[in-house]
A and B are shown apart, each in its own frame.
Chain A
């Protein structure tokens, strides 16, 4: 199965911050796509999109935390890095528990952000690799005859004798 290239996405309602972040990530070698609202991002999102999302929390309508919940509900594989102007510990703990890769505060230092993105991308790559392996296995599994499947199940359960018969 083909997966789209992992991308870097930035969602922030403040235009000047959005622009600055884009510049920064571009200068660091990434190719980010920017969105001014969670709504716009959801519209653009491909179900199979992968990669890293740099997400502001305080936004009108759908805020960052809500977006995270929705994405999880959709089964999205995106890694989320929260970037917020005012965050407290409970909020950050909740975010991490829900699966965020990192929780950074603005103004954010470039090295912090970039290393977080690299981590996210790495993690993403690992999980993608795992998914690809799984897919391959499943494909192969699909080619087995019913009898082969039976043998396989015995092998798995450790009944050598059964399998050899």
Chain B
């Protein structure tokens, strides 16, 4: 207050109500809308009281404080400056000022309590600030009143008490701005890290040739990553439903896949499988598909999401291994047949010899004058029979020499045994070995590749017959072949009374390149084991209680359904 005459001071004091009103409203606004606390009716009371003060300031007396300013008192303050303080008759309406002040205090207190009750750090923090503010406010009110009443002499420093308040308000506001900036920065960071993580995942999936997909079961709509679409040969923009998805599959794999999916939908959890996909240009890809189903609370499947991985290379390698195994089995078969070739040739020779002699006999008979046609008929009948007999030998030979892929079918093990015995019949006869056959009449079907099972049997019989080769006594020159129904499996055994197997060699005989013969690769039993294992069976050997050894193998039985 630097003015020096009464008029000036009076006007100033009158007009001071205006900024006060603005300040009051600002505070109320701040608390009410920014801090969101404080009762509305209190807020209105405060504002209206202050407005009243303003009006009163202009309508009564010189200003709100004084009806009439009588004189000015000058006081000295530190620093050597002098300031003026008004003195005079107090305005009876003066009370409007403090009243609005009280109202504001009440409002702020209430707001602070609400804030405190909210319990969060920020709101308590704010509550504290406002409590301080109230303190300062009270101080300034009392100070002004005292000043106006002429009790004390000092400059009006009401504004000073508002400073901390304003400072607090601006701190609060800016704090939020700061926080907002901080959050924005963090958001930016996390967006960046999310993008990086997405990029990494894209890279990983593309390196693993993996596609991610999601099937909305209810709306029959499939979403897929670009890699996923590429794996199936579907364009990026095309919409995919289940039919379309299924359409990318290889014709033979569609039904199995559909069945597996339906099983999974019925109540499975994780679905896994390997299927072929045919691309538009004709290329075939193997995919490993693994997915999970989500069920809604009613137990209905509503979403399936999964991964498809390109395993073409691995599958190709697997197929190559299998092919090589087949080739090896074939090689072993051919070698075995080579060993049998002498007796096989003999077996073919007999019918041929019979046919020739029969035919030449017929020629001589016809050359006579009175040819007996009945005898010619007999001869021709025999020729046909012999021809068929030769044909059967060739047929058996061809079957064993076959190099085709494994072909699984239902087999009757007894029949297989009998066919193999026909094969070796002559050879065994040449070696003077007798075969005792004991076939279980109630054998279930097994599923297997005919040629390979015959190969195993042939190998075991040949081995046993070689073991018997040096047996001196006729009683020892016997082989016993037995089939047995053991419920889950069918068991076949080939026993001899030869020299048996050394105890140390029991497992080694099944190793590749292990042989006790002077000639031979030692692959026969190793291949037999591979074949039986591929059929989910077992092959093992035991020495007999007496002399000789027995070889057993099992094959799983089926329930009799045709493949």
A60 to B435, CA, bound (A): 13
Is A130's beta carbon under 8 Å from chain B? no
Q: Which residue of A lies closest to B349 (CB)?
A: A85
Task: List residues of chain A with CB within 8 A of the CB of B432.
Answer: 60-61
Interface segment out of the listed A68-76, A103-111, A118-126, A153-161 = A103-111
Is A19's beta carbon under 8 Å from chain B? yes
Q: Which of A20, A58, A106, A108 has the most CB of B within 10 A?
A: A20
Interface segment out of the listed A22-30, A40-48, A136-144 = A22-30
A26 to B358, CA, bound (A): 11
Give the shortest distance, in Å, between A59 (CB) and chain B (any CB).
8
| A51-95 residues at the B interface, CB under 8 angstroms | 58, 60-61, 85-86
A24 to B382, CA, bound (A): 13
Is B141's beta carbon under 8 Å from chain A? no
A16 to B353, CA, bound (A): 9
Q: Are B350 and A110 in contact (CB under 8 A)?
A: no
Q: Which listed residue (A23, A60, A85) contacts B353, Cβ 8 A?
A: A85
16 interchain pairs (CB within 8 A)? A16-B389, A19-B354, A20-B355, A20-B356, A20-B358, A20-B361, A23-B358, A24-B358, A24-B360, A24-B361, A24-B364, A27-B361, A58-B429, A106-B352, A107-B357, A110-B357
A60 to B385, CA, bound (A): 23
Per-residue contact bits, chain B 344-374, to A (CB 8 Å; 1 contact, 0 not):
0110011111111110111111000000000
Task: List residues of chain B with CB within 8 A of the CB of A60.
Answer: 429, 432
Is A8's beta carbon under 8 Å from chain B? no
Q: Are A85 and B360 in contact (CB under 8 A)?
A: no
Q: Are B361 and A23 in contact (CB under 8 A)?
A: yes
Q: Which residue of B lies closest to A113 (CB)?
A: B357
A85 to B356, CA, bound (A): 13
Q: Are B382 and A19 in contact (CB under 8 A)?
A: yes
Task: List residues of chain B with CB within 8 A of the CB of A109.
Answer: 356, 360
8 closest A-B pairs by CB:
A106-B353, A20-B357, A110-B360, A27-B364, A107-B356, A107-B353, A23-B361, A85-B349
Q: Which residue of B lies closest to A110 (CB)?
A: B360
Q: Which of B357, B358, B386, B429 has the most CB of A within 10 A?
A: B357
Task: List residues of chain A with CB within 8 A of the CB of B562.
Answer: none
Give the shortest distance, in Å, between B126 (CB) and chain A (any CB).
114
Is A21's beta carbon under 8 Å from chain B? yes
Task: List residues of chain A with CB within 8 A of the CB of B358.
Answer: 20, 23-24
Task: List residues of chain B with CB within 8 A of the CB of A20.
Answer: 353-358, 361, 382, 386
A107 to B348, CA, bound (A): 10
Q: Are B355 and A107 in contact (CB under 8 A)?
A: yes
Task: List residues of chain A with CB within 8 A of the CB of B362.
Answer: 27
Task: List residues of chain B with CB within 8 A of the CB of A27.
Answer: 361-362, 364-365
Is A134's beta carbon under 8 Å from chain B? no
Is B560's beta carbon under 8 Å from chain A? no
Task: List residues of chain B with CB within 8 A of the CB of A28.
Answer: 364
**What number of B residues sit within 8 Å (CB to CB) of A?**
28
Is B430's beta carbon under 8 Å from chain A? yes
Task: List residues of chain A with CB within 8 A of the CB of B351.
Answer: 16
Is A96's beta carbon under 8 Å from chain B? no
Give the shortest distance, in Å, between A58 (CB) and chain B (any CB).
6
A24 to B385, CA, bound (A): 17
Is A17's beta carbon under 8 Å from chain B? yes
Give the shortest distance, in Å, between B84 (CB) and chain A (any CB).
149
Is B379's beta carbon under 8 Å from chain A? yes
Is B391's beta carbon under 8 Å from chain A? no
Q: Which residue of B lies closest to A83 (CB)?
A: B353
Give the shortest distance, in Å, between B154 (CB) and chain A (any CB).
143
Is A135's beta carbon under 8 Å from chain B? no
Is A14's beta carbon under 8 Å from chain B? yes
Task: List residues of chain A with CB within 8 A of the CB of B268.
Answer: none
Is B92's beta carbon under 8 Å from chain A? no
Q: Are B361 and A86 in contact (CB under 8 A)?
A: no
Knowing that A28-B364, A86-B342, A107-B355 are A-B contacts, what are 10 other residue pairs whose CB atoms are under 8 Å apart, sorted by A's residue number? A14-B350, A16-B354, A16-B386, A20-B382, A20-B386, A27-B362, A58-B346, A85-B350, A106-B349, A106-B352
| A141-155 residues at the B interface, CB under 8 angstroms | none
Q: Are A26 and B352 in contact (CB under 8 A)?
A: no
Task: List residues of chain A with CB within 8 A of the CB of B356.
Answer: 20, 107-110
Q: Are A108 and B354 in contact (CB under 8 A)?
A: no
A17 to B353, CA, bound (A): 6
Per-residue contact bits, chain B 93-118, to A (CB 8 Å; 1 contact, 0 not):
00000000000000000000000000
Q: Which listed residue (B342, B345, B361) contacts A26, Cβ 8 A?
A: B361
Task: List residues of chain A with CB within 8 A of the CB of B364.
Answer: 24, 27-28, 110
Q: Which residue of B lies closest to A86 (CB)?
A: B346
Q: Are A86 and B345 in contact (CB under 8 A)?
A: yes
| B425-442 residues at the A interface, CB under 8 angstroms | 429-430, 432
Q: Are A14 and B354 in contact (CB under 8 A)?
A: yes
Task: List residues of chain A with CB within 8 A of the CB of B386.
Answer: 16, 20
Q: A16-B385, A27-B365, A61-B432 are in contact. Are A21 and B349 (CB under 8 A)?
A: no
Task: List residues of chain A with CB within 8 A of the CB of B389.
Answer: 16
Task: List residues of chain A with CB within 8 A of the CB of B375.
Answer: 23
Q: Which listed residue (A23, A24, A26, A107) contacts B349, Cβ 8 A?
A: A107
Give the shortest distance, in Å, between A19 (CB) and chain B (any CB).
7
